[in-house]
Structure 1
């Protein structure tokens, strides 16, 4: 467990660190469950800077900082959908993801929603299970022409 984690809203200046976490986490953590081609295509999303700018400008987007370094991030779309939650590959399993999730859940409840939904990679199933989410269904998503196995999770708040 790491103490002194600060959670704040993301700014456009955070994009280089956010995209680095996105790319490196996929390459290090998700590589256990997906092919090299899938990892290459998925992690290339870090290069879509306009998408990251749009997310930061239009979604509830938070970052976790430890000693002035961003070590994780999460963003919510459509009011109650956890669209992304990533933790730096060197800070996995140290409560950062849990803290980001709690803040996201609080934001969702503050907006009047009673449920949180998440689309999860295979790699994150245990995380969502441990946070009392119910796996609604397994499915395949498509990104840049490549199919990925994933799951839809839901939890009452």
Structure 2
């Protein structure tokens, strides 16, 4: 019997599990669109635990948990920014990204946001396009000495009376 995935708030002690998801997504998925040097800059092999812990506490991400294992995480900030959105490299294609995005959109609705936006990697752009996001602007950003092409993407949310 397969365990059902559940969406929940990340725990304060789950930084290492979230880092494992982040690292695998970059090195197993984004490596199709970015060089090894870019992937190493984006997701270094060694975790700076205090910095990562502080970042996770600030982001307050949602996670998808399957049988006690975190397989994906994403956050939604007060201004509608999705800063992090990662599905474990070995968990791709199982619908976890769509589930997580639906949860973020529901949260945005509760927050009464008109739209959500993110700076999206080349690898993730097809996913976001399939879910109604549009590319607002092509970007070139730098991280740890490496340049990356990505795009700012936005989804306008429906309004209700």
Q: Fold match, TM over 0.5?
A: yes
Tell whether the 8 Å contact from 1:79 to 1:111 is kept in structure 2 after alignment: no
Q: CA deviation at 1:59?
A: 2.6
What are structure 1's unaligned runs of at least 5 residues? none
Runs of 4+ in 1 over 4 A off after TM superposition: none
Q: 1:98/1:45 Cα in 2 relative to 1: closer, same or farther (>3 Å)?
A: farther
Q: In structure 1, the residue corresponding to 2:93 is in which secondary structure?
A: coil
Matched length: 156
Bigger proportion of residues as helix: 1
Measure, in 1, the Cα distance between the counterparts of 2:3 and 2:123.
Answer: 25
Q: CA deviation at 1:145?
A: 2.1
Q: CA deviation at 1:78?
A: 4.2
Determine the structure 2 residue equivalent to 1:42. 42
Determine the structure 2 residue equivalent to 1:123. 123
Q: CA deviation at 1:90?
A: 1.2
Determine the structure 2 residue equivalent to 1:139. 139
Q: In structure 2, the residue corresponding to 1:47 is in which secondary structure?
A: coil
Determine the structure 2 residue equivalent to 1:13. 13
Q: What do the CA deviations read for 1:93-136 (whole angstroms, capped 9, x no partner)?
A: 11100111111111122112110001100000110010000111
